[in-house]
């Protein structure tokens, strides 16, 4: 049974709020008529375009808000990182709980599942997330292994990272579950390999993204992880 990390095990809402506050200030200075309401609309539309990681999301939001040539929105993104984004990364290193923290039900669910199933992590994350999962949030003991994109050189939705996890667990795809918040990087690639899937919405930024077809429909979709206590 494999878990994603961000917005599956860990809430990133504080980080997203800080990012959006900073990015709004940068973009409003370039587009004077920008309001919080119009920013939020553009933000939602940008997410529907399915940007990848954090940097891709920032670029997509800036592009959607400014609707201008590439150089201007790239300049805006650069300014955002100089004034806000890099400081958020530094804050995470100094005080991870100020940016991310486990959802309330996570420990209870993992304590229930760990004795019954072999648990692993498949996540697009930096290698320092391992340290925080193990030492800051004390969640590492629940998992047999962690496959993190920066460590292995593959990232979701590339099927290679899922195959690495399957090989590590010595399990066939048909016997495996993938649990995550993203349709495009968790559900779809896992299903393409024959794995069963659960989409967990929580307060995920990408919960607004609908599936595009049958190949993106999860086997189950839940608001949080608590239904796993009855499902398994």
Instruction: Dump pLDDT digits (tens) for 169-185.
Output: 999 999 999 999 999 99
Beta-carbon count within 10 A of 111 CB: 10
Instruction: Give this prediction's pTM.
Output: 0.94
Compute the chain's Rg from CA coordinates: 18
For the cut 90, the answer to whether the pLDDT of residue 71 exceeds it is: no
Distance between CA 57 and CA 47 in Å, rounded?
Answer: 7
Nearest to 180 by CA among 201, 155, 159: 201
**Nearest by Cα to 182 from 166, 167, 155, 201:** 201
Q: What is the DSSP-derived secondary structure letter of residue 110?
A: H
Question: CB–CB of 58/77 below 8 Å?
Answer: yes
Which pLDDT tens digit goes with each residue over 77-123?
999 999 999 999 888 888 999 999 999 999 999 999 999 999 999 99
Q: What percent of the chain has pLDDT over 90?
A: 88
pLDDT > 90? residue 68:
no
Domain boundaries, the chain: 2-11+100-231, 13-97
CATH topology of domain 2-11+100-231: Rossmann fold (3.40.50)
Beta strands in the chain (DSSP E): 2-3, 10-11, 101-102, 120-123, 145-148, 177-180, 196-200, 220-222
1-21 pLDDT, tens digit each: 999 999 999 999 999 999 999
Q: What is the mean pLDDT of residues 114-133?
A: 95
pLDDT tens digits, 199-228: 999 989 999 899 999 999 999 999 999 999
pLDDT of residue 142: 98
């Amino acid at each position: 049974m494999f878990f994603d990390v961000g917005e599956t095990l860990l809430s990133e809402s504080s980080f997203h709020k800080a990012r959006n506050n900073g990015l709004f200030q940068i973009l409003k200075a370039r587009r004077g008529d920008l309001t919080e309401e119009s920013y939020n609309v553009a933000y939602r539309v940008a997410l529907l375009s399915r940007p990848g990681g954090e940097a891709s999301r920032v670029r997509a939001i800036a592009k959607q808000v400014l609707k201008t040539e590439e150089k201007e929105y790239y300049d805006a993104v650069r300014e955002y990182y100089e004034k806000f984004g890099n400081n958020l990364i530094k804050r995470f290193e100094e005080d991870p709980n100020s940016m991310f923290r486990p959802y309330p039900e996570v420990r209870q669910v993992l304590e229930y599942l760990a004795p019954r199933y072999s648990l692993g992590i498949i996540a697009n994350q930096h290698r320092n997330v391992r340290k925080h999962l193990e030492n800051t949030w004390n969640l590492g003991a629940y998992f047999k292994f962690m496959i993190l994109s920066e460590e292995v050189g593959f990232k979701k939705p590339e099927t290679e990272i899922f195959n690495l996890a399957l090989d590590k667990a010595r399990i066939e795809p048909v016997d495996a579950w993938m649990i995550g918040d993203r349709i495009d990087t968790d559900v779809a690639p896992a299903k393409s390999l024959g794995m069963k899937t659960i989409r967990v919405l929580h307060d995920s930024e990408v919960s607004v993204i609908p599936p595009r077809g049958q190949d993106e429909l999860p086997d189950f979709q839940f608001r949080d992880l608590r239904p796993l206590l009855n499902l398994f």
